[in-house]
Amino acid sequence: MRVSAIGTILLDCVFLAILLAAPPPAAAQSGTIDLDNPNVNLGSRHLADAAGKTAVVTAGGTRFVILRWDFGALAGKKVVGSGLLELTTRALERTSDEIPDFGEIRAVEISGGDPRWDKKTIAFNSLCEGGPPDLVLNPQMIIDWPVSEGDDAKTCLTIPKPVLQRLIDGKTLGIAIRSLGAINAAFYREDGSGGIKRAPRILVNIRD
């Protein structure tokens, strides 16, 4: 945990730790959905190589990474400044050419749909619960950012204060990650190799 004058908390996809007051672990999940296969669950998706099989979430083509946290322990708290969403790369496929706005990932808010989805059963259609996709996956971007290459590399996305506040207040249900251009990015999952240290996590400053 990092310490600051106002109290810094680190929200992992498995545990929530708050400075000076540690509540019970807060469950959260990461998953993959595919717009071209809207009824297929990808909860068992993994990357296999010489090192074995690694549980991953992937963004590429019509696949989105989806992330959610339980912010119940922070009800009524106020966010101070921007925060960071940290993803740990397992593998990355992209062109070697540096093309502007090509080969990045885009973060968007999950504004509706099933707030309690489970990665073992979730698919695109069940996330939307029959609603319009644009009301579930917000078309307005939070940020576009390149993926750090190499196994175990960290990609840090700046998340603005208003988005973080909506997450804590329950007005935004999570964050989705999609690819821009011909890129396939695989990130470690919270229940995979490395556990918390490699899981998607968010860093945010709060006050009462």
The alpha-helical segments, DSSP class H, found in 81-171 are: 124-128, 133-136, 161-169
pLDDT, position 14: 33
pLDDT, position 99: 77
Helix, strand or coil, per DSSP, at residue 196: helix
Helix, strand or coil, per DSSP, at residue 67: strand
- N residues, the chain: 208
Q: What is the pTM of this model?
A: 0.85
pLDDT, position 87: 94
pLDDT, position 23: 35
Q: How far apart are CA 187 and CA 58, in angstroms?
A: 6
Average pLDDT for runs of 10 along the chain of length 208: 37 35 48 96 90 91 94 89 94 84 90 95 96 94 95 95 95 96 91 77 87
pLDDT, position 71: 87
Cβ contacts of residue 166 below 8 Å, gap of 6+? 109, 172
pLDDT, position 7: 38
Cβ contacts of residue 168 below 8 Å, gap of 6+? 71, 74, 75, 77, 79, 204, 206
Domain ranges of the chain: 8-207
- Paired with 87 in beta bridges are 155
pLDDT, position 181: 85
Please report the sign of the dihedral spanned by the C-alpha atoms of residue 196, residue 202, residue 205, residue 207.
negative
Q: How far apart are CA 185 and CA 69, in angstroms?
A: 21
